[in-house]
Amino acid sequence: MKAFTVEKYKKNGPLRMVDAAEPVPGSNDVVVEIKATAVNLLDSKIRDGEFKPLLAYKPPFILGHDFAGTVIALGSNVRRFKVGDEVYARPRDHRIGTFAERIAVHEADLALKPKNLSWVEAASIPLVGLTVWQAFVELAKLRKGQKVFIQAGSGGVGTFAIQLAKHLGAFVATTTSAKNIELIKSLGADVVIDYKTQDFEAVLSGYDLVLHSQDQKALQKSLRILKPGGHLISISGPPDQRFAKTLGLNVVLKLLFTVLSRGVRKEARKRGLRYDFLFMRGDGQQLSEIASLIENGVIKPVVDRVFPFEKTADALAYVETGRAKGKVVIEVQ
């Protein structure tokens, strides 16, 4: 099969199209013919080597974290799926590889794709959908009437997060550029801040939750707009002790993350706030719940551009520009 691999860790390194071995399913695996896959900044960070201490993939390896496709083979213990099912998933860590024609996935990571979505639309959902679900539903337990600030509202995570937060009954503020304001308002945001001309810290105060995805400067400002008892969830770091413990990391990495997050944790404690770092995981059951929301019209995918499979490297380069509105998707089949 054709696949795009990382030959060695290198910042802005090339992806190479190769003839890769066909996936062989384990007893709990499902083999899927991939119809579409999506691109995430996580892909470029892994290629660049930023996650080597946490996710040590041995080059060459196939990149990619999102897909939608058709089941073509089953492991001996698989009971939840059958050949011909249309599915979507974010494969678990250490089993990524969706920039390919086929993939073997643990059945627990898989869900039936939303019936009302195309392959392209379905492939845009898993990573960002699970990230937001685990932030708002699992960690924050976001409730009706709470105020949430979502950074970068026009990005892949942001466009999904606005819609889920509104469904949960929250009051939503977000940032974007002027050209995307109408899009963001159409998704339900109550306050839209043009980050090029406005300082969100000067506009917002008394918030219950921040979903942080930007730099350290934005992190410090975000802490200051939260009310006492508020909660900041970061998907861009710094990692904290809870995260290290969850992953079962070694003592050296636990100490490193303790040091890296010391400043933000100290500031959060001083202000009576909670800080959590979130690195999302694959979860088929959560994707099934997300699929139900999509089928009921609660959440609509936002897709910026679609690239052909042979232009996978171009798709990754486009995502790295930071200009995409919603997700960038690759048609594989």
Half-sphere exposure of 259 (CA within 13 A, CB side): 6
CATH 3.90.180.10-classified regions of the chain:
2-124+301-331
> Domain 128-277 is classified in which CATH homologous superfamily?
NAD(P)-binding Rossmann-like Domain (3.40.50.720)
**Cα separation of 191 and 88, whole Å?**
33
- With 80 as the cut, is the pLDDT of residue 118 above it? yes
CA nearest neighbour of 230 among 184, 271, 181, 266: 271
Q: Mean pLDDT, to the nearest integer, of 206-227?
A: 97
Nearest to 282 by CA among 88, 25, 113: 88
Range list for CATH 3.40.50.720 in the chain? 128-277
pLDDT above 90 (res 232): yes
Query: What pLDDT is attached to residue 250?
Result: 82
Mean pLDDT of the chain: 96
* 193: pLDDT strictly greater than 90: yes
Domain at 2-124+301-331: CATH architecture: Alpha-Beta Complex (3.90)
Dump pLDDT digits (tens) for 250-301. 888 888 888 989 999 999 999 999 999 999 999 999 999 999 999 999 999 9
Tokens matching residue 4: 């795009």
Q: Which residues lie closer than 8 Å to 223 by C-beta, 6 or more apart?
A: 210, 232, 264, 267, 268, 271, 273
Name 246's Cβ contacts closer than 8 Å, sequence gap at least 6. Answer: none
Retrieve residue 176's tokens: 């974007």
Alpha carbon distance 316, 64 (integer Å): 10
Distance CA 173, CA 250 (A): 38
Q: Is the dihedral of CA 289, 293, 295, 299 positive or negative?
A: negative
Strand partners, 327: 303
